[in-house]
Structure 1
Amino acid sequence: MTSNIGSPAETTQPVGISPYLSKRIFTLQFTSTPRGARLARRLVAVRLDEWGVPYGTEAHETTVLVAAELAANAVRHGHVPGRDFHLSLRVTAELARIEVSDTRAERVPPRPGRLPEPELAEGGRGLLLVERLAERWGWCPRLGAPGKTVWAECALT
């Protein structure tokens, strides 16, 4: 795991600013292994709880599940030997946005709304879960580096 946490001002709520206007950001790189994916899921769960989205709530469970699926997909489908995947969590009062980037550009997921039916899918059904649980999701080429970023937004209210 490689730490790439921003300044403390990025990860804590500024004093005197309405929680509806503030944004909390957590970013880290993880080894592209099942262990890295599990660690990503656990750290997202801890950070959400610290930021006021408590364990056991629907918003917490949904966001953690979506983050876990995106991280697992980065390990399974985006793995390049010797390369980490990057996870970013941005939380506002209404929304959690999870972005997972890997360095494998030639393997991309289908566009939202174009996933195969569950009974026709050859592999797992992780993106089907993401599509049903998240408000929005998608993917784009990774900015400034090879690969792609798969993102999802989950409602917190």
Structure 2
Amino acid sequence: MTAPPAAQRTSMSPSFTRRFSSTPLGARLARRTTLTALNAWGIPYGSDVSERAAVVVAELAANAVTHGRVPGRDFELRLSLPTGSLRIEVTDTRGDGRPPGPGAVRAAGPLDESGRGMALVEALADRWEVRKRTPPGKTVLVEIDVPGWLGLMRRLAVARPPKRRR
């Protein structure tokens, strides 16, 4: 897996950012909110991209709640559609406990009770990386390629005409 390229944005590229409580409910809401946002952007429920994104967000949000939790601090989910892909970023405020990077994820044993989340992320992502955050924390950035991205952007532009300047 290669590192994600720098974001290439167009003026019509949608994005979404929201903070969620570092609780199991917050993790579940992040997953459901992702599916709703993607559907609104023309990536329908049940599509390959939507299903992959749901699992990735569920795993990253669960990790943020379980391993990246700092009492009283939320985790953040950011979704965007830079050129050709869906970008998912989950940020927590704990600087230690960084997950292994791409290619370094160890497979969980058949009797292990945990340790499969990042292996799922690695399997479902087209590109991903872990970034250090200042102030303390980390961001896991995942990209999933979106077939027909240009057509999707055109449909979004037609559905949402540009705002008129006064």
**Which is bigger in relative contact order (C-alpha 8 A, separation at least 6)?**
2
AA at the equivalent of 2:58: A
**Structure showing greater Rg:** 2
Q: Which residue of 2 aligns with 1:13?
A: none
Partner residue of 2:80 out of 83, 90, 101: 90
Q: How far apart in 1 are the matches of 2:82 and 2:43?
A: 11
> Which TM-score applies when normalising by structure 1?
0.81
Q: Please, which runs of 5 or more residues in structure 1 have no aligned partner?
A: 1-19
Aligned twin of 2:38: 48
SS in 2 for 1:43: helix
Identity %: 50
Are residues 1:130 and 2:132 paired? no
Q: CA RMSD in A?
A: 1.9
Instruction: Map 1:44-123; keep pairs closer than 5 Å.
Output: 44-92=34-82, 94-119=84-109, 123=114
Structure 1 position 145, deviation (Å): 2.0
Report the alpha carbon displacement of residue 67 of structure 1 after superposing the two structures with TM: 1.2
Question: Does structure 2 retain, via aligned residues, the 8 Å contact 1:100–1:151?
Answer: yes
Give me the TM-score of the superposition, normalised by structure 2.
Answer: 0.77
Provide the rounded CA distance (Å) in 2 between the counterparts of 1:25 and 1:45.
13
Structure 2: runs of 5+ lacking an equivalent: 1-9, 148-166
Cα drift, residue 93 of structure 1: 6.1
Whole-angstrom distance in 1 between the partners of 2:138 and 2:82: 24
Letter in 2 for 1:119: G
Q: SS at 1:101's partner residue?
A: strand
- Mapped to 2, the partners of 1:119 and 1:61 lie a distance apart of 25
